[in-house]
């Protein structure tokens, strides 16, 4: 009889976290910003592709990747969805609501697990919706300019679009872990920017023995999943994405440990 009770309590925690997430104005503002910015960047990236393709040399035309061009929105979208993941945790610490949540759900691992599941579900849906919308919009703009474009049933295209949505969901989970550990929106977002942009930009300064780890770093090896054109540096993009997800899982594991041991 105890197992159904445990399931019911976790179900209640899931429902409570969903109610809290959807009741925040920042959630809807962030999602609206995600699609507005993402589709806007897609329009900019593909809107003048006809001129670029017409003036491109033969080598660039052979390497033309219409799918990757229409998915470049991820460069900014990962930060926006990172904001959503961070606010799932830090908004309660900022308002003190976390104490109320812990009073209702004393088992801390259950409370944080509910937050992770709800945020992951929202991030997967939002990420996949953005990637499919960006792909369809980008290919429509490319077709209107009479340059090579792609369809979802072309080789590697569906894999790139779906992989892009999973990449964004992983970034959201990374943000949840950072938000739990740091308990401050500004600090978590600063750490996220450093992980996503700063470390890869400074990759050349790292010792040679450690550079192989960067193949699994966000915006480097894992981001190769967005392209359909082969990349000699990252021949197995899904393996790189899997390595990145293992890193995100490690951050989440640390977040569970920290959240369990310290005071609210």
200-226 confidence digits (pLDDT tens): 877 777 777 776 777 667 677 788 899
pLDDT at 2 over 70: no
Measured between alpha carbons, how far is 95 from 40 in angstroms, rounded to an integer? 33
Q: Quote the strand ranges of the chain, DSSP E.
A: none
- Could you read off the pLDDT of 170-211 as tens digits, one per residue? 999 999 999 999 999 999 999 999 988 888 877 777 777 776
Q: pTM to 2 decimals?
A: 0.89
| DSSP 8-state symbol, 217 | S
Tell me if 190 sits within 8 A of 168, measured CB to CB.
no
Listed in sequence order, the residues at least 6 apart from 243 whose beta carbon sits closer than 8 Å to its beta carbon are 215, 216, 221, 222
Please calculate the CA angle 19-33-259 and round it to the nearest 5 degrees. Answer: 45
Length in residues, the chain: 264
Please calculate the CA angle 19-25-29 and round it to the nearest 5 degrees. Answer: 120
Listed in sequence order, the residues at least 6 apart from 157 whose beta carbon sits closer than 8 Å to its beta carbon are 67, 135, 150, 151, 228
Measured between alpha carbons, how far is 27 from 85 in angstroms, rounded to an integer? 10
């Amino acid at each position: 009889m105890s197992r159904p009770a445990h399931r019911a309590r976790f179900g209640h925690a899931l429902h409570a976290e969903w109610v809290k997430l959807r009741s925040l104005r920042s959630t809807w503002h962030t999602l609206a910003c995600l699609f507005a910015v993402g589709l806007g960047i897609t329009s900019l990236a593909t809107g003048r592709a006809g001129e670029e393709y017409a003036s491109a040399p033969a080598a660039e035309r052979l390497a033309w990747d219409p799918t990757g061009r229409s998915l470049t929105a991820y460069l900014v979208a990962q930060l926006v969805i990172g904001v959503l993941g961070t606010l799932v945790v830090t908004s309660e610490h900022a308002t003190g609501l976390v104490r109320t949540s812990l009073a209702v759900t004393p088992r801390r691992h259950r409370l944080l697990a509910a937050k992770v599941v709800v945020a992951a579900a929202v991030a997967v849906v939002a990420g996949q919706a953005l990637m499919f919308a960006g792909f369809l919009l980008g290919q429509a703009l490319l077709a209107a300019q009479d340059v090579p474009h792609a369809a979802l049933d072309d080789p590697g295209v569906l894999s790139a679009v779906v992989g892009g949505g999973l990449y964004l969901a992983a970034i959201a989970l990374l943000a949840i872990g950072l938000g739990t550990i740091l308990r401050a929106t500004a600090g978590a977002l600063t750490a996220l920017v450093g992980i996503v942009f700063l470390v890869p930009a400074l990759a050349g300064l790292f010792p040679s023995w450690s550079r192989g780890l960067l193949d699994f770093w966000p915006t480097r090896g894992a981001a190769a999943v967005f392209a359909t054109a082969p990349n000699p540096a990252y021949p197995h993009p899904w393996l790189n994405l899997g390595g990145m997800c293992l890193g995100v899982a490690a951050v989440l594991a640390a977040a569970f440990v920290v959240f369990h041991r310290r005071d609210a």
